[in-house]
Structure 1
Amino acid sequence: MSRPPGANAELALLLELSGTPKPGNVDRQREYADLTFEQFLAGAVGARAGLDDAADGAAVGDAFETAVAGMARQDGGNTQFGALLLLTPLVRAAATDRLTPDGAAAVVDETTVDDAAGFYRAFDHVDVFVDEPPDSMDDLDVRRGSDAVPALRERGLTLADVMAASAPADGVAAEWTAGFERTFAAAASLLDADGPLSERVPTVFLDLLAAEPDSLIAKRHGESVAAEVTERAAELQGADPEAVTEWADELVADGINPGTTADVTAAALFVALERGLAV
């Protein structure tokens, strides 16, 4: 019996977490002092209600806020904000038989100012690392959360507009504006690969990291560090697993977290599950 989209989205978050090694990210073998494996498990389970809402026809922004509020009911803070931002429209697309790049793009195009307000309200529930906005956009700083909604409404910005403005510097927003291109390509890789899923997930993660600098690393540590991480990931493609494991430990020790890459991996797992990935 097939699982409903909300269940597959929850499972995708859990499968992303269980894959190891994913250099720099929390997984079943490594974690940060202030962000643990168990907190990620709780975040995935807590997000389920919002993911189900997205499948059942709730507004995308409202469903996302509900998912984030549920995710935040653990002691670690932000565990899967970016992944949920990718999964929410994909779940809606799947529930309406449109889980294709064009179908997901249509879901994005259908978003409204109310959806953007829901996105902003999600920041009331959890702290998310974001760049300082330009002075001209200070009234739309997402860290203001619901306090920024009046300015958002005055400007008439939809959630698609908000993502388009963020896309040049944010890999998750870029997926929204590009038909979830990397997500669908990674899903195809997961489906085409052989071997246990526990090996396919870290391979796809490393391939994504080798193909494009991680935007979260760039924001936190600078573009040069992000480029260095991508270069090293490319060098380790197909390498001895022990070398990848050693590098994973080094990145965690240095606090370098390719979180955007993990978000895309989770979204790709959802698409693959919806397309028949057996678990």
Structure 2
Amino acid sequence: MQTAQHAQLALLLEVAGTPKPGNVDRHRDFDDLRFEHFLAGAVGACDGLEAAAAGEPVGASFDTAVEGMSQQRGGNAQFGALLLLVPLVRAAATWGLTPDDTAAVVEATSVDDAAGFYRAFEHVDVFVDEPPADAEALDVRRGADAIPAVRERAMTLYDVMELSAPEDGVAAEWVNGFRRTFAVTGTISDGDGPVPDRVAEAFLELLADEPDTMVAKQHGEAVAESVRERAAALRHADRDEREAFADELVERGVNPGTTADITAAATFVALERDGVVP
């Protein structure tokens, strides 16, 4: 498979993995976002992922990927995952799929890349916190309308991620060398059994490691920490207990989406760098 195809397959394997507590998987849907939407989103992201593999700018490639992903009825299925996958694909296709090479890709992003990132918000609704009072002009919910402020401040896409990193786990990956992505890849690459089961194991490992920032934004830090503690307690539990926790979080509307995004990124590394074959 080519690099972009591995990225698409990573998106498909991530949503196929089950149980992933609180997330859509092949056994669980949300009322407004279903398994089929993730399948369609992975296919739709093809052009943007191929652009990244061909060496096109990160921001423009991301915008194209999100636009394609959005061409299904569920809305935002994989925005965060694509924000991680696009620079990983670019690194794999041009330099190498290592933490240092990936860091070099994101650190080299430009103001134009930041503009592409903001344009991507025109395609889907993405849950974000209120911006700080001194950064209202940079509110991503303004989409393309925020681009003049980005250009006025000469902010690169890496700069934008630095602003968000303290409270956003995807942005934190950008500025921390994709630390968690590469750290959990071995669970998928070296594990036994079907690849989707290994993906689900990696998800639970990540969820047990740190509170999910999407859960913290939507439900508060106490809920995010309680979810982390439950995940840690279930690391060695049987499948029935994990399935019950997955059902509980879906029923409560608690969605560790950031953890799923990082899981998709780690799955790509396992496929592309480590040669995992389903």
After TM superposition, the score normalised by the length of structure 2 is 0.99
Q: In structure 1, how many angstroms separate the alpha carbons of the residues matched to 2:68 and 2:32?
A: 19
Match of 1:9 in 2: 7
How many residues align? The count is: 277
> Once the two structures are superposed, what CA deviation does each residue of 1:166-197 show, in whole Å capped at 9, x if it has no partner?
00000000000011011011112211212221
2:54 matches 1:56: yes
Match of 2:126 in 1: 128
Secondary structure at the counterpart of residue 176 of structure 1 = helix
What amino acid sits opposite 2:276 in the alignment?
Answer: L
- Give ranges in structure 1 of 5+ residues lacking alignment: none
Q: Percent identity?
A: 65
- Give ranges in structure 2 of 5+ residues lacking alignment: none
Q: In the alignment, is the contact (CA less than 8 A) between 2:15 and 2:26 conserved in 1?
A: yes
2:102 matches 1:104: yes
2:39 matches 1:41: yes
Please tell me the root mean square deviation across aligned C-alpha atoms, in Å. 0.6
CA drift at 1:139: 0.5
What stretches of structure 1 move > 4 A for 4+ residues in a row? none
What amino acid sits opposite 1:37 in the alignment?
Answer: F
> Once the two structures are superposed, what CA deviation does each residue of 1:96-127 show, in whole Å capped at 9, x if it has no partner?
13210000000011100000000000001110
What amino acid sits opposite 1:144 in the alignment?
Answer: R
2:177 matches 1:179: yes
1:1-279 alignment to 2 at 5 Å?
Answer: 3-275=1-273, 276-279=275-278
After TM superposition, the score normalised by the length of structure 1 is 0.98
Q: In structure 2, how many angstroms separate the alpha carbons of the residues matched to 1:13 and 1:97?
A: 22
Q: In the alignment, is the contact (CA less than 8 A) between 2:22 and 2:253 conserved in 1?
A: yes
Secondary structure at the counterpart of residue 6 of structure 1 = helix
> Once the two structures are superposed, what CA deviation does each residue of 1:223-277 show, in whole Å capped at 9, x if it has no partner?
0000000000000001010000011001000000000000000000000001211
CA drift at 1:201: 1.1
Q: In structure 2, how many angstroms separate the alpha carbons of the residues matched to 1:163 and 1:198?
A: 30
Q: In structure 2, how many angstroms separate the alpha carbons of the residues matched to 1:82 and 1:72?
A: 13
> Once the two structures are superposed, what CA deviation does each residue of 1:58-100 show, in whole Å capped at 9, x if it has no partner?
1100000000000000111100000000000000000013210
